[in-house]
Amino acid sequence: MSYLDSLNPSQYDAVTYTDGHIRIIAGAGSGKTRVITTRIAYLIESLGIAPYRILAITFTNKAANEMKERVYSILGDDASGMFVSTIHSFCVRLLREDIHKMGDGYPRNFTIVDSDDQKSILKEAYKMYGIEVKSYSYANVLSYISACKGEEISPEAAMSIANEFTSEKIKAQVYDYYEKRLEHMKALDFDDLLLFTNRLLKKDQEVRVKWQRRFDYIHVDEFQDVDKIQYSIIRYLVSDKCNLCVVGDPDQTIYTWRGADVNIIMNFEKDFAPVHTVMLNENYRSCPSILKGANSVIKNNKNRIDKDLYTSRQEDNKIIHYSAFEEALEPAWVCQQINKCIQSGAAYRDIAVLYRSNYLSRSLEKQLLEARIPYRIYGGVRFYDRAEIKDALSYLRMLIHDNAAIDLALKRIINVPKRSIGNKTVETIEDYSRSENMNMYEVIKNHDVARGKAQTALNDFIKLIEKYRNLVNSMSISMLLEGLMDECGYMQMLEDDKETERIENVKELINDIEDFETANPDGTLDEYLQQIALYTDKEQENNGQFVQLMTIHAAKGLEFDIVFVYSMCDGIFPSEKAISEGGRTALEEERRLAYVAFTRARKQLFISDAQGYSYVMDRIKLPSRFIKEIDPDTIEHFGVQDATQHTASRQEELPSGQAAKALTYVDEEGHAPVKTSGRIRKGDLVVHTSFGEGVVLDTSQGVWKIAFNNKFGIRKIMANHPSITKK
Ligand code: ATP
Ligand code: MG
């Protein structure tokens, strides 16, 4: 069979072994997923197994689709009927057939609740028990509920283990309400899909046997990230006659924070003995430097089994690392490299940019748009389309617009955060605005349109907007926004809901405005908003030709010719949280994530970071510690380097540096600038190239806090930044 010819002996063994259960443990790019797809083709074509007797479970819908396409490309329509899906979709299918057999009155067309529905159920509970969102954020309570469910702790059990008069007790009470409400609606949340399936398979022998009889061959990809309940479901599905094939790479476990348990794949042979274990040692994906570089990083994890992955590929490209002098230079460099790749014949869709967290896409998106590079965010929303960014920009629009355009902004934020201004009131304002030919803001300024609480809220809102309208000419835009977002309670709302990602996004927007101010010291708010309008335009169409942007978690299992790992700074990746926890566990998971990121690349891996002051982290940034772990033979460094090196230039190739304590800036000839942090002291008068004169307030922690004379106010600037000179 031609599709079997290309397999190496271990892969061939894994594809054709059908005498019992099989486990494939192997590193990234060694063909694990390819073994599953080829195996499915082999079962159907060579052994004559009916496609509908084959089940394959993958981690994401994208992976499921790719797996199906792959089998179809080998077999054509002969493959139709095989069942390839995520575990959640599989559970939905099973429950739609059999949930009524639970005997609890659940109909087969049960509702699945999403996160918005969940929140509104919590709201009801909070109202009923007089609980304040301030003290019990929705996100926090929902993760408590999910954790209880994951451990199969019932509301009653949760109540009895919680101490009297504690927050646990209150959460357990909400959990109880939530469960009763779902049951009343006969609705299931995402956790329930797994729990109900597990429960049904456990208690109903008839159902269990029915589903066991359905599948003779079960495959699970990315098995290293399976959690207890998922594993239990898989176990119930495997009959004596069934062949189970699991594949995974313990070095790519990146979901332990959500309950994934790597011990499941390690101890698999105990539950399913006898198990045939196959190791795959040849990597077919990446060129030698990428493979060697990624391996040198993951080797630093103590808690792992060493693997020996090799490649027989000859052609090679070293990993390229660029450390930008300041934030703005990093995305510019990425765009420049993307253009170079395109000029050398790459297509946009061969290129992916991966990052640790969603908010990081902002600076890059802006530059991509400016450089006219088509891009798409996979599994996420473009930065300027995110709700909190639109809210923040609407607040800013309220300050300068006086025409009908203000209506859209006003409608968006008049009750965000909640201030008891309901739809009725908004409708009344709209009616007035139409009949009196005024914009909605003029209406509320000139008329009382509501009564009681709502009118008081409107008055407060007007007071707030008017206050900031008066400050537009005397305050910087970033300070206006920061003040507004704080004073209107928006940031508090995000904090109450523990919306970390949204908080990061708003901070990132403030960062964006600061960039604008630095580049345009005389720029006005109106100019800023006009510029932004260009970025919020509709997505471009480009025949499927897009650079793909996504988080590393979303890139699991995928591969691209060219991969950029963006914003690889300590505190971002590894995350501040993992670093501050101190223990090894969290840092090792971050390192596995780096391993996943690096091993997505086939031909070329670019890594970048920027060494400047980060508004989001509120400190200066240094390159990720993981970059220093990359084998020096496999990587070339460009850009600024660490202070531990004395001779440095900003543009030339640099040897990799040792752990950095502080940064030294150097000019084109390699001389360090005359000014040093020793010279600049608290109280000194300085001049900034964009912000003008200022007084130094603080010089601790590598950052200078400087009060400028004009509307720019107090700014934090990296120590020794060339834009500052002493007066
Ligand atoms: P990951 O751990 O990232 O999920 P994986 O082990 O699942 O990786 P695959 O995605 O299956 O690896 O394979 C990596 C690449 O190598 C794919 O492009 C695949 O087609 C190719 N490949 C795998 N085995 C062979 C082979 N024997 N000959 C040629 N190419 C191969
Ligand atoms: Mg795979």
Specify the range with the lowest mean pLDDT, choosing from 98-107, 294-303, 350-359, 668-677. Answer: 668-677
Q: Which residues are catalytic?
A: 32-33, 221-222, 252, 600
CA of 34 to the centre of ligand 2 (A): 7
- Distance between Cα 323 and ligand 2 center (Å): 31
Q: Determine the atom of ligand 1 nearest the C-alpha atom of 11.
A: 27
Residues of the chain above pLDDT 90, percent: 54
Quickly state the pLDDT bin for 641 (edges 50, 70, 90): confident
Biggest CA-to-CA distance, the chain:
85
Residue nearest to atom 31 of ligand 1 (CA): 284
**Averaged pLDDT, 183-210:** 93
Whether residue 562 is predicted with pLDDT greater than 70 in this model: the reply is yes
Q: Which residue has the tokens 């019992």?
A: 20
Q: Distance (Å, rounded) from C-alpha 303 to C-alpha 266?
A: 13
Q: What is the tens place of the pLDDT at every residue in 283-319?
A: 999 999 999 999 999 999 988 888 878 999 999 999 9
Q: What is the pLDDT of residue 195?
A: 94
Query: How far apart, in whole angstroms, are the C-alpha atoms of residue 525 and residue 393?
Result: 11
Select the highest-mean-pLDDT range: 106-110, 479-483, 722-726. Answer: 479-483
Residue 36 clears pLDDT 60, i.e. is over it: yes
Mean pLDDT (whole number) for 564-582:
91
- pLDDT average, residue stretch 168-175: 92
Nearest CA owner, ligand 1 atom 27: 7
Q: Is the pLDDT of residue 663 over 70?
A: no
Residue carrying the six token digits 């900031």: 468
The Cα–Cα gap between 440 and 458 comes to 12
Pick the residue with more confidence: 186 or 532? 186
pLDDT of residue 540: 52
Q: Whose CA is nearest to atom 13 of ligand 1?
A: 31
Q: What is the CATH number of domain 111-185?
A: 1.10.10
Omega of the bond leading into 107 within 30 degrees of 0 (cis): no
pLDDT exceeds cutoff 60 at 656: no
Nearest residue by C-alpha to atom 28 in ligand 1: 6
Residue nearest to atom 30 of ligand 1 (CA): 284
**Mean pLDDT to the nearest integer, 507-513:** 89
Please give the number of the atom of ligand 1 that sits closest to the Cα of 30.
6
Q: What residue owns the CA closest to ligand 1's atom 21?
A: 284
CB 326 within 8 A of CB 332: no
* pLDDT(684) > 80: yes
* Res. 537: pLDDT tops 70: no
Residue 32 labelled as part of a binding site: yes
Structure tokens at 427: 């409708």
Dist CA 617 CA 445 (whole Å): 39
Partners of 551 in beta bridges = 355
β-pairing verdict for 111-112 and 83-86? unpaired
From the CA of 247, how far away is ligand 2's center (Å)? 8
Distance 570 CA to ligand 1 centre (A): 31
pLDDT at 404 over 80: no
pLDDT above 70 covers a percentage of the chain that reads 92
Lowest mean pLDDT among 29-38, 355-364, 422-431, 492-501: 492-501
State the Cα–Cα distance between residues 598 and 606, nearest whole angstrom: 9
What ligand is nearest to the CA atom of residue 35? 1
Q: Which of 399, 389, 387 is nearest to 441 (CA)?
A: 399
How big, in percent rounded to 5, are the helix, strand and coil portions of the chain?
50, 15, 35
Of all atoms in ligand 1, which is nearest to the CA of residue 283?
16
Fold of the domain spanning 9-95+195-282: Rossmann fold (3.40.50)
CA–CA separation, 283 vs 261, rounded Å? Answer: 25
Residues for the chain: how many in total? 727
Contact 189, 113 (CB under 8 A): yes
Closest ligand to the CA of 221: 2
Q: Which of 66, 55, 112 is nearest to 242 (CA)?
A: 55
Pick the range with the lowest mean pLDDT from 148-157, 231-240, 375-384: 375-384
Name the closest-CA residue to atom 15, ligand 1.
285
- CA–CA separation, 365 and 375 (whole Å): 8
Strand 111-112 and strand 187-188: the pairing is parallel
Q: What is the DSSP code (8-state) at residue 447?
A: -
Residue of minimum CA distance from atom 14 in ligand 1: 29
CA–centroid distance, 222 to ligand 2, in Å, is 7
Which one of 284, 563, 605 would you pick to mutate in the ligand 1 pocket, going by the greatest count of ligand atoms within 8 A of its CB?
284
On whether the CB atoms of residues 280 and 11 are closer than 8 A, the answer is yes
Strands 319-324 and 635-639: parallel
pLDDT for residue 648 is more than 60: no
Q: What is the 3-class SS of 483-531, one letter each residue?
A: HHHHHCCHHHHHHHCCCHHHHHHHHHHHHHHHHHHHHCCCCCHHHHHHH
Residue 116: pLDDT band (50, 70, 90) is: confident
Average pLDDT, rounded, for the chain: 87
Per-residue model confidence (pLDDT) at position 519: 77
Q: Which pLDDT value is given to residue 352?
A: 97
261 contacts 255 by C-beta, under 8 angstroms:
no
276 against 408, higher pLDDT:
276
Per-position DSSP letters for 34-100, written without gaps between them: HHHHHHHHHHHHTS---GGGEEEEESSHHHHHHHHHHHHHHHGGGGTT-EEEEHHHHHHHHHHHHGG
pLDDT at position 113, please?
83
Comparing 155-159, 404-408, 564-568, the range with the smallest average pLDDT is 404-408
Query: Could you tell me the distance, in angstroms and rounded to a whole number, from the CA of residue 224 to the centre of ligand 2?
Result: 11
Domain 319-374+540-639: assigned CATH number: 3.40.50.300
Q: Which ligand sits nearest to residue 555's alpha carbon?
A: 1
pLDDT at residue 30 tops 90? yes
Q: Is the peptide bond before 9 cis (omega within 30 degrees of 0)?
A: no
Report the number of secondary-structure helices (H) and strands (E) in the chain.
29, 22
Q: pLDDT, tens digit, for every residue of 416-450?
A: 999 989 889 999 998 998 898 889 999 999 989 88
> In sequence order, what are the beta bridge partners of 396?
none
* pLDDT (average), residues 607-630: 86
535 touches 384 (CB < 8 A): yes
31 is in an annotated binding site: yes
630 or 520, greater pLDDT: 630
Q: Which of 105-114, 381-390, 674-683 is predicted least confidently? A: 674-683
Q: Which residues of 99-127 are buried (b: 16+ CB within 10 A; e: fewer)?
A: bebeeeebeeebeebeeebbeebbeebbe
Q: Among 137, 497, 504, which residue's Cα sits nearest to residue 355?
A: 504
Which pLDDT value is given to residue 57?
A: 96
Q: Which of 6, 13, 15, 34 to mutate to test the pocket of ligand 1 (most atoms within 8 A of CB)?
A: 34
Categorize the per-residue pLDDT at 536 as very low, low, confident or very high, splitting at 50, 70 and 90: low
Q: Which ligand is nearest to the CA of 29?
A: 1
> Which ligand 1 atom is nearest residue 35's CA?
11
∠ CA 673-679-682, rounded to 5°: 130
CA 558 to ligand 2 centroid distance, Å: 7
Instruction: Tell me, in angstroms, the distance from the centre of ligand 1 to residue 5's CA.
Output: 15
Using most ligand atoms within 8 A of CB, pick from 2, 4, 8, 33 the residue to mutate for ligand 1. Answer: 33
In 662-718, which residue ranges form alpha helices assigned H by DSSP?
none
How many CA within 13 A on the CB side of residue 301? 24
What single-letter amino acid sits at 138? Y
Strands 703-708 and 692-698, how do they pair?
Answer: antiparallel
Least confident range from 315-324, 485-494, 619-628: namely 619-628
Does 9-95+195-282 match 319-374+540-639 in CATH topology? yes
d(CA 459, CA 455): 6
**DSSP per position, 337-367:** HHHHHHHTT--GGGEEEEESSGGGHHHHHHH
DSSP-H helix ranges across 401-422: 405-413
**When comparing pLDDT for 665 and 692, which is higher?**
692
* Res. 339: pLDDT tops 50: yes
Whole-angstrom distance, CA of residue 365 vs CA of residue 505: 13
Tell me whether residue 60 is annotated as binding: no
Contact 211, 201 (CB under 8 A): yes
Q: How many angstroms separate the alpha carbon of residue 35 from the centre of ligand 1?
A: 8
Give the domain ranges of the chain.
9-95+195-282, 111-185, 319-374+540-639, 385-494, 684-726
Are the C-beta atoms of 399 and 466 separated by less than 8 Å? Answer: no
Whether residue 518 is annotated as binding a ligand: the answer is no
Q: Does the annotation place 33 within a ligand binding site? A: yes
Higher-scoring residue by pLDDT: 711, 140: 140
244 within 8 A of 234, measured Cβ to Cβ: yes
End-to-end CA distance of the chain: 79
Query: How do strand 21-26 and strand 243-248 relate by DSSP bridges?
Result: parallel
* Choice among 277-291, 365-379, 558-572, 583-597 with the minimum mean pLDDT: 365-379
Q: What is the DSSP letter of 632?
A: G
Q: Whose CA is nearest to atom 11 of ligand 1?
A: 31
Residue 665 — pLDDT band, cuts 50, 70, 90? very low
pTM: 0.75
Does 471 have pLDDT greater than 90? yes
Please, are residues 240 and 16 in contact by the beta-carbon 8 Å criterion? no
Is residue 233 very low, low, confident or very high in pLDDT (cuts 50, 70, 90)?
very high
- 385-494, CATH topology level: PCRA; domain 4 (1.10.486)
Q: Find the 79 Cα to ligand 1 centroid distance in Å.
A: 21
Ligand nearest to the CA of 561: 1
Find tokens 């201004």 and name the residue: 421
Q: Any known ligand binding at 26? A: yes
SS3 482: helix
Residues with CB under 6 A from ligand 1: 6-8, 11, 26, 28-34, 249, 252, 284-285, 557, 559, 599
**Ligand located closest to 30 CA:** 1
Ligand 1 site-directed mutation target among 285, 596, 602, most atoms within 8 Å of CB: 285
Token pair, residue 599, equals: 């091993």
Of 177 and 261, the structure prediction assigns the larger pLDDT to 177
Residue with tokens 């403030």: 510
Q: What is the pLDDT of residue 1?
A: 63
Task: Considering only CA atoms, give the Rg of the chain.
Answer: 29
Is 29 within any annotated ligand binding site? yes
Return the pLDDT at 77: 86
Name the residue at shortest CA distance from atom 23 of ligand 1: 31
